[in-house]
């Protein structure tokens, strides 16, 4: 046995999982959501927001939607949060907001501060445990809790901004709510978890992990791959694989970014291993859904997450009276912008994600992209899902995985074109940026008629690709946002100044290579 010895709590956890999954499967989504909204309205009726929106007079969901318009972050920040920040007392939620989760989002460098409460913290932990419950249900011989849980998260320390109000990544806020029986088996230890330099953290964590009995891994797919590549460097055998490094590994929990570009790489890593992957759909605002079945089969809506869900056609978000659906009126196989109301004082708040239900009973969804993320400088109307599919296909054709990428529009003396900055998982050997760009171009022409017409008529130039050396994007993140956690590379960038900044840093003289 490697490393520390653990008491195996899997047997007891399996008993809990049986009861918990039965309860979840017996929950009627419509009833649960209607009851939750009623409780949230009653709880916040005496707040400034509740009084301004006549919460005491709201009797049903239709009343709520008439009284409370949908808002994005900027509106909430300017109208309700910024004036008293960071001491929000009885503003949108009763009492004082104890936490603000920090995120930079995916399209700009500006930090956002999202109110977060103990209700939401407990709900997030419930979501994580529910995912574990469904894993245990599907694996009757599981020994998941007989070893360590390794979570690649941001620092767990809180930054106190005022008495009773702290700022941190959502992982830090939720860490303290993890049950005691689980805390002692979580890696990395707190002194290493608080290291802000992610490259240093991973370099130090990898040899520690190899000496422990890791049975569950968690993090965003790109950072998990970086971590596993570092583990390989510390392995005693150059031929060792994931199944050798962590022979008892059962579960890899991922989230934060689209898994499609990484699926092939994880499939290769998992050969010979009995581990499975499960997705957790969470954000700085809360936990929204989790995988209760196999990879790609949809994520079960987290109905015990202190979040009331609404769904709006993305094209109607700017309308004064958009068609607002909830779980009783939503339709399958249609794209919706996710709008939430939570036990942290977020009321009909636009998260920024676009989701699609693959099943309604029970409600299961997939995340298909971001609101207003796409490229249409020349009228090409490319959406995120098309760009992601083209990149995944082009990488697959070259037997590689794109660890990170960023795409934007540039112009030169010949006209405008799309530039793809890509960091392949396997590095420079065998990868052709020229061929990659050609294959992206070909796939986008198949997927999008507007793009195909513009390319055929030479109204937009052929796309170009530049390969980023390993660590190039991490360098930009370190300079501009900070590595890891909730901070992400902007992948589809419509701000030319921001895109040029990304390009200039990731392709600096120390990082740029010519196409092989």
- What is 101-143 written as a DSSP string? EEE-TTT-S--EEEEE-HHHHHHHHHHHHHHHHHHHHH-TT--
Per-residue 3-state assignment (H helix, E strand, C coil) for 408-438: EEEEECCEEEEEEEEEECCCCCCCCHHHHHH
Helix-strand-coil split of the chain, %, nearest 5: 40, 25, 40
Strands of the sheet containing 159-162, edge to edge, are 112-116, 99-103, 165-168, 159-162
Neighbouring-strand partners of residue 405: 422
Range 10-25+120-290 has CATH code 1.10.1760 = no
* CATH C-level class of 374-506: alpha beta
Residue 316, token pair as written in the block: 């109607």
Side-by-side strand order, sheet with 464-467: 464-467, 415-424, 402-412, 492-493
pLDDT block averages, 10 residues each, the chain of length 516:
80 97 98 98 98 98 97 95 96 97 60 93 96 97 96 83 84 85 88 84 94 95 89 88 96 89 88 96 96 93 97 91 97 97 98 95 93 81 88 91 92 89 77 95 93 87 93 84 64 89 85 41
pLDDT of residue 430: 77
Give the model's pLDDT for residue 509: 57
Both tokens of 75, joined, read 């509106």
What are the extents of the domains in the chain? 10-25+120-290, 29-77+301-370, 374-506
How deeply is 457 buried, as exposed, middle or buried, from its count of CB atoms within 10 A (0-12, 13-18, 19+)? exposed
Closest CA to 232 of 221, 243, 241: 241
Residue 185 structure tokens: 């088996």
Which conformational region is residue 503 in: left (phi greater than 0), alpha (psi within -120 to 50 degrees), or beta? alpha
pLDDT digits (tens, 9 = 90+) for 294-313: 888 999 999 999 999 999 99
Q: Compute the distance between CA of residue 175 and CA of residue 156 in angstroms, rounded to an integer.
A: 7
pTM: 0.81
Q: Which residues contact 52 (CB under 8 A, 6 or more apart)?
A: none
Judge whether 402 and 421 are in contact, CB under 8 Å: no
């Amino acid at each position: 046995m490697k490393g520390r010895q653990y008491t195996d709590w899997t047997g007891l956890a399996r008993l809990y999982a049986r009861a918990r999954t039965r309860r979840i499967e017996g929950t009627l989504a419509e009833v649960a959501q209607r009851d939750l909204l009623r409780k949230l309205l009653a709880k916040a009726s005496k707040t400034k927001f509740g009084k301004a929106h006549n919460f005491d007079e709201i009797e049903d969901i239709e009343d709520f939607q008439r009284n409370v318009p949908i808002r994005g972050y900027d509106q909430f920040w300017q109208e309700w949060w910024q004036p008293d920040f960071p001491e929000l007392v009885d503003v949108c939620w009763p009492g004082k907001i104890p936490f603000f989760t920090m995120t930079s989002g995916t399209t700009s460098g500006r930090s956002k501060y999202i109110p977060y409460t103990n209700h939401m913290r407990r709900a997030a932990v419930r979501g994580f445990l529910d995912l574990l419950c469904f894993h245990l249900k599907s694996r009757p011989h599981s020994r998941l809790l007989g070893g360590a849980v390794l979570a690649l998260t941001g620092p767990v320390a809180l930054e106190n901004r005022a008495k009773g109000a702290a700022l941190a990544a959502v992982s830090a806020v939720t860490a303290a709510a993890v049950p005691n029986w689980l805390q002692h088996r979580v890696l990395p230890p707190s002194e290493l978890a608080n290291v802000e330099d992610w490259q240093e953290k991973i370099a130090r964590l990898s040899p520690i992990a190899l000496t422990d009995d890791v049975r569950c891994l968690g993090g965003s797919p790109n950072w998990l791959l970086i971590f596993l590549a570092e583990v390989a460097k510390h392995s005693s055998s150059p031929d060792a694989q994931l199944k050798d490094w962590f022979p008892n590994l059962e579960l890899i929990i991922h989230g934060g970014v689209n898994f499609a570009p990484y699926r092939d790489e994880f499939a290769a890593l998992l050969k010979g291993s009995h581990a499975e992957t499960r997705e957790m759909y969470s954000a700085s605002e809360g936990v929204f859904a989790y995988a209760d079945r196999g990879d790609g089969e949809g994520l079960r809506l987290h109905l015990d997450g202190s979040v009331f869900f609404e769904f709006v056609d993305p094209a109607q978000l700017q309308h004064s009276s958009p068609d607002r659906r909830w779980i009783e009126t939503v339709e399958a196989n249609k794209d919706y912008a996710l709008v939430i109301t939570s036990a942290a004082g977020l009321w009909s708040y636009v998260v920024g994600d676009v989701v699609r239900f693959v099943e309604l009973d029970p409600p299961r969804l997939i995340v298909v992209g971001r609101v207003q993320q796409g490229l249409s400088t020349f009228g090409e109307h490319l959406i995120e899902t098309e760009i992601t599919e083209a990149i995944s296909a082009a990488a697959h054709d070259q037997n590689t995985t794109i660890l990170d990428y960023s795409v934007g529009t540039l112009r030169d003396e010949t006209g405008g074109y799309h530039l793809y900055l890509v960091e392949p998982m396997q590095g420079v050997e065998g990868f052709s940026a020229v061929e990659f760009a050609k294959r992206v171009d070909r796939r986008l022409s198949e997927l999008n008629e507007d793009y195909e017409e513009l390319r055929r008529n030479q109204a937009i130039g052929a796309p170009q690709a530049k390969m980023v050396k390993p660590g190039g994007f991490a360098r930009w993140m370190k300079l501009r946002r900070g590595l890891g956690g909730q901070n992400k590379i902007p992948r589809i960038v419509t701000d030319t100044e921001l895109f040029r900044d990304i390009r200039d840093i990731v392709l600096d003289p120390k990082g740029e290579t010519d196409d092989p």
